[in-house]
Amino acid sequence: MDRNIYLVDTQDARGETVLDENLLRAVVKVNTLLTATITGCLCGLGLFAATWLSLNRGLPDPGQYMNLLGVFMPGYEVSPTGAWFGLIWGGVIGAVAGGVLYRFYARDIRSHVERFLQLDSDGDETWNPIVSIGGNALGIALGAVVACGLILTTGWLVLRGTADESVNARLLEHFLPGYSVSLPGSLIGAVQLFILVYLSCLLWSWIYNKIVSIRHR
Amino acid sequence: MAVATGTIASLLLCAATVILLIKGPVAGTDVGTHLRLLGIYLPGFTVTWIGSLVGAGYGMLLGMCFGSVVAIMWNFTHYLYITAMVMRASWLRLMVD
């Protein structure tokens, strides 16, 4: 049987019930806003907390590595004032990344809604209470965001003219063979990072969906 | 979400440690000079085979915490938003009536 779905009673020219596009767009908009809020809060507060943790660990040079973030976030350093800069920068970057991530993910939302809300054999609308996560869509979305982040940060180091001094960025070569602090190197690294993130998301969503379906039984 | 995130974090931290151990030290330095700095925040973590297991345990724990926080925030913000929308709709209906 065809899976005709509907969120409200709307019909197309052939008289079949279809998704309410306006409602779907509104849901995507709300979820984008909320995802951006959550990731912004997590990144901002996370960086704020990490800065204070570094300050209070009693290390001889607490900002030895974290101060390097100041290259990408002007004003940031491991100090009480720098922690507030970290809160703002982390919030902004996290919110933008989260919003873009959800927008990418939501390109596949129609199929998720179709799985979630489907007609039973009698043609009645029934709720399928298992909300699954699309690993493919999430992998593409998160992989794209992270890969773009790597290209942008490496590009920034190259533009500043400090690529040769970026010994810490070069450490990525250990995990991303072919990566180097140069534009071609960042592209190779971005492709590898995309694949790594994509596979991780597939595994993550598989575990998540499996647990959810087991709990539903 | 907590279990899934914990598993991925655990695997990633364990894999990062194992990759460094397999590749061996870079000339003139010890293996995992930078990754071992995680030991400052994760007591007991070292770039050794046993350390990779300790790291996997920490990855699981921290990943689960992170996953839980994300899930709670996701549900909570949606709850707040939907509640606000319902209240607004009720208020508007009341005003119209």
Q: Average pLDDT in the B22-40 region?
A: 75
Q: Using a CB-CB distance cutoff of 8 angstroms, which residues of chain A are in contact with residue B83?
A: none
CB atoms A175 and B41 under 8 Å: no
User: What single letter denotes the amino acid at residue A121?
Assistant: S
Please check whether residues A19 and A115 belong to one and the same domain.
yes
- What predicted TM-score, i.e. pTM, was given to this entire model? 0.77
The predicted-structure confidence for A33-83, as pLDDT tens digits, reads as follows: 999 999 999 999 999 998 998 888 777 777 777 888 888 888 898 889 999
Q: Average pLDDT in the B26-32 region?
A: 69
Q: Average pLDDT in the B16-31 region?
A: 78
Residue B65: predicted pLDDT? 92
Residue A1: predicted pLDDT? 38
Residue B88: predicted pLDDT? 87
Please check whether residues A85 and A9 belong to one and the same domain.
yes
Q: Using a CB-CB distance cutoff of 8 angstroms, which residues of chain A are in contact with residue B69?
A: 42
Residue A115 in this model has a pLDDT that exceeds 70: no
Please check whether residues A66 and A159 belong to one and the same domain.
no
Closest residue in A to B2 (Cα–Cα):
A208
How many independent structural domains does chain A possess?
A: 2
CB atoms A207 and B4 under 8 Å: yes
Rounded to whole angstroms, how far apart are CA atoms A19 and A8?
7
A90: confidence class by pLDDT, cuts 50, 70, 90: very high
Rounded to whole angstroms, how far apart are CA atoms A105 and A138?
5
A55 CB-side CA count, 13 A: 13
| A13 or A42, greater pLDDT | A42
Paired tokens of A114: 């179709």
- Looking at residue A17, the DSSP 8-state letter turns out to be B
Q: Using a CB-CB distance cutoff of 8 angstroms, which residues of chain B are in contact with residue A175?
A: 16, 19
User: What single letter denotes the amino acid at residue A193?
Assistant: L
Which range marks the domain in which residue A205 is found? 132-217
Please check whether residues A80 and A7 belong to one and the same domain.
yes
Paired tokens of A176: 């991303």
The predicted-structure confidence for A117-174, as pLDDT tens digits, reads as follows: 654 445 555 555 667 788 888 899 999 999 999 999 899 888 888 777 777 777 888 8
Please check whether residues A9 and A86 belong to one and the same domain.
yes
Listed in sequence order, the residues at least 6 apart from A40 whose beta carbon sits closer than 8 Å to its beta carbon are A90, A91, A92, A94, A95, A98
Residue A2 in this model has a pLDDT that exceeds 80: no
User: What single letter denotes the amino acid at residue A10?
Assistant: T
| A109 or A159, greater pLDDT | A159
Please check whether residues A117 and A57 belong to one and the same domain.
yes
Please check whether residues A108 and A142 belong to one and the same domain.
no
ipTM of model: 0.77
Please check whether residues A81 and A179 belong to one and the same domain.
no
* Last-in-domain residue among A106, A128, A150: A128
* Last-in-domain residue among A105, A128, A151: A128
Size of interface A-B (CB pairs under 8 A): 46
* Last-in-domain residue among A111, A128, A145: A128
Please check whether residues A20 and A84 belong to one and the same domain.
yes
CB atoms B7 and A30 under 8 Å: no
Residue A166: predicted pLDDT? 76
CB atoms A42 and B34 under 8 Å: no
Residue A93: predicted pLDDT? 93
Identify the sign of the CA torsion A198, A199, A203, A204. Answer: negative
Please check whether residues A56 and A159 belong to one and the same domain.
no
Residue A192: predicted pLDDT? 92
The answer to whether A96 and A39 have CB atoms below 8 angstroms apart is no
Residue A191: predicted pLDDT? 94
How open is the CA angle A107-A112-A113, to the nearest 5 degrees? 105
Q: What is the DSSP string of A20-66?
A: -HHHHHHHHHHHHHHHHHHHHHHHHHHHHHHHHHHHTTT-SSTTTTG
Please check whether residues A124 and A164 belong to one and the same domain.
no
* Domain boundaries, given as residue ranges, for chain B: 2-72
Which helix (H) or strand (E) element contains residue A127? strand A125-127
CB atoms A30 and B1 under 8 Å: no
Q: What is the mean pLDDT of chain A?
A: 81
CA distance A201 to chain B (A): 9
Please check whether residues A108 and A210 belong to one and the same domain.
no
The predicted-structure confidence for A91-106, as pLDDT tens digits, reads as follows: 999 999 999 989 888 8
The predicted-structure confidence for B50-73, as pLDDT tens digits, reads as follows: 888 998 999 999 999 989 988 898
CA distance A39 to chain B (A): 8
Rounded to whole angstroms, how far apart are CA atoms A138 and A204?
10
